[in-house]
Structure 1
């Protein structure tokens, strides 16, 4: 059995000891670097884990267990890195508030440390006031936020503005930002200093940026910001009503959750993406999540017509929120117009 197969077998069994033993053998006896382990084992296996959940072959519990194994391997690799130099820049690395996918941030933190940075890793879903206190007390060279779920981009602008007012460079990255072109636009809309895709890009940016940035002029809040704030604070209250209506239309309201498992969580995610779309003024976010939901439901044997129904039901409680309604409707039209 080769190393990749052995490692994947360990992930499928949620066997941390076996996974770490496989990696230790590769590093200590086969000459693999930590970077190669991340590039050829951890990152591609995590992508495969996500694909298996997307297709419905793995449950959420299986996905979480395998992810935990990958995270333990990255922690083990990080523990073997040398201590940073006395003058190494301190970079605070964390996920965005509400973002629980810590592995990408953990990999970047490892890569930054391997390049000589002094990294303070705060992990998934940090508490905003505590995080801001840490930034103010530590005064790091930069703050780096990672996000995998686009819904986690909502409700970040005011927090980003608070960091920007201190003058500390704020760099963002991760799948939620949609790649280089979209990522730069979404980062700018939220008030981040820059978007980066790799640890080396982060350090290259810091070589060009001043230690402290001037306080930016923040745009005045408008109707879009009001709608985004309402979605962030009250969006979840919509979910039970929608689930109840679906139950009335399709059978017993008490059984709709068991017939369509995880649909309520998917609706929450869609509402988070709508808030993110409105916050960033980026309609493509809603197109992305609509296409994603169609695929998720189809892989679970649920008719894609349910997505159209959900969009219809979501529009009803948004009557007093015109910007959100426009973004929701525009995503439906745009998705319908896409080539098959």
Structure 2
């Protein structure tokens, strides 16, 4: 039986201990601190959402600001995941199932699984039977699972906006299987605008709100004759399809042109050249999803964030401008794409640099 004290550790103190353990890549210290806090009476849901979740956000911010490496970021994320697993096994986290069944999964191609895992554990703490399927779940396998288990809802998580077209197909497929879909995560926008655009049944800004909403009232099941919102009129111009399909060629042409448009690139090392190609691929990906959602701000926000990340690594943010110009030249016959690229360039030149990054 766990020991209970009259006064549990403050979340701020626990967060400080965990952060020190995370920075030191000391998994044992992190797990020990979490279990000790639970033994002393800390609320498991609060530890998940008020301590571990913000610390994971801080890990992403530290990576974006170039204060930790990619390897450190991955190790820190793994430590947080194991801390969540340890919490889930603690006696104080065991709850009798008093509610229905929810499937929690990440969009196919989405590797950032911790937000979904946090939601799954919060729902379990509140008495739900939870099927947690983890990262990048292929839509056909998700739908097959729904047919086998008949959950009350699917909670679909997405952190990266480039997965929104896949999320759209997944939402539609789940609804066609008769299961309502609650979505969440940074990919769907801070106000849930893309959740509405893609026809999700509900959206929540965080795990606590999602759990509250599911407890308040069941999501209505789609009717057999449910008509999914899969007709986005702006896609009729085919710009999204053409840009998405031609991404390798666009990256190659812009990369080649940059050697003349941005002379500093001629002195890049092989590693720097590889990273430049990766950055260009991300730019084209975000351009494509901005075309899919018909939202200039999605692309402009990504460009602003990328500029901050580059600046933190000693690369001038202005180096993005010739890349956007070259991409605009290649897509001069695509009116929406050209407008989105202009919006990105304007955002880059009209606002001062901010603290680097808000996401991994």
Which residue in 2 is equivalent to 1:74? 84
Write the distance in 2 (CA, Å) between the matches of 1:232 and 1:131. 25
Q: Call closer, same or farther: CA 1:135–1:157 in 2, change over 3 Å.
A: same
Whether 2:307 is the aligned partner of 1:298: answer no
Residues 184, 205 of structure 2: 8 Å contact kept: yes
Which residue in 2 is equivalent to 1:250? 263
Q: Call closer, same or farther: CA 1:254–1:151 in 2, change over 3 Å.
A: farther
Which residue in 1 is equivalent to 2:321? 308
CA RMSD of aligned residues (A): 2.7
Q: Call closer, same or farther: CA 1:211–1:84 in 2, change over 3 Å.
A: farther
Q: Secondary structure at the match of 2:72?
A: helix
Residues 93, 109 of structure 1: 8 Å contact kept: yes
Write the distance in 2 (CA, Å) between the matches of 1:322 and 1:26. 57
**Number of equivalent positions:** 334
Which residue in 1 is equivalent to 2:106? 95
Residues 223, 323 of structure 1: 8 Å contact kept: no
2:239 to 227, 236, 257: 227
- The gaps in structure 1 that reach 5 residues or longer are none
Residues 189, 279 of structure 1: 8 Å contact kept: no
Q: Is the deviation greater in 129-138 or in 293-302? A: 129-138
1:188 to 185, 196, 221: 196
Which residue in 1 is equivalent to 2:145? 134
Q: Call closer, same or farther: CA 1:270–1:82 in 2, change over 3 Å.
A: same
Whether 2:121 is the aligned partner of 1:113: answer no
Q: Call closer, same or farther: CA 1:33–1:128 in 2, change over 3 Å.
A: same
Q: Secondary structure at the match of 1:156?
A: helix
Q: Is the deviation greater in 41-50 or in 113-122? A: 41-50
Instruction: Tell me by how many angstroms 1:236 deviates.
Output: 4.1
Write the distance in 2 (CA, Å) between the matches of 1:252 and 1:269. 18
Q: Secondary structure at the match of 2:105?
A: strand
Q: TM-score, normalised by structure 2?
A: 0.82
**Residue deviations 1:164-186, cap 9 Å, x none?**
22231111111222322xx1x21
Whether 2:61 is the aligned partner of 1:48: answer no
Residues 243, 253 of structure 1: 8 Å contact kept: no
Which residue in 2 is equivalent to 1:238? 250
Write the distance in 1 (CA, Å) between the matches of 2:28 and 2:175. 42
Write the distance in 2 (CA, Å) between the matches of 1:36 and 1:221. 40
Instruction: Tell me by how many angstroms 1:311 deviates.
Output: 1.0
Q: Is the deviation greater in 40-49 or in 312-321? A: 312-321
Q: Call closer, same or farther: CA 1:261–1:56 in 2, change over 3 Å.
A: farther
Q: TM-score, normalised by structure 1?
A: 0.87
Q: Call closer, same or farther: CA 1:222–1:321 in 2, change over 3 Å.
A: farther
Write the distance in 2 (CA, Å) between the matches of 1:49 and 1:107. 16
Q: Call closer, same or farther: CA 1:155–1:205 in 2, change over 3 Å.
A: same
Residues 154, 272 of structure 1: 8 Å contact kept: no
Q: Call closer, same or farther: CA 1:286–1:171 in 2, change over 3 Å.
A: same
Instruction: Tell me by how many angstroms 1:126 deviates.
Output: 1.7
Q: Is the deviation greater in 323-332 or in 56-65? A: 323-332
- The gaps in structure 2 that reach 5 residues or longer are 1-12, 354-360
Residues 151, 276 of structure 1: 8 Å contact kept: yes
Residues 224, 323 of structure 1: 8 Å contact kept: no
Write the distance in 1 (CA, Å) between the matches of 2:86 and 2:241. 40
Instruction: Tell me by how many angstroms 1:69 deviates.
Output: 0.3
Q: Secondary structure at the match of 2:195?
A: helix
Write the distance in 2 (CA, Å) between the matches of 1:339 and 1:303. 13
Which residue in 2 is equivalent to 1:202? 210
Q: Secondary structure at the match of 2:132?
A: strand
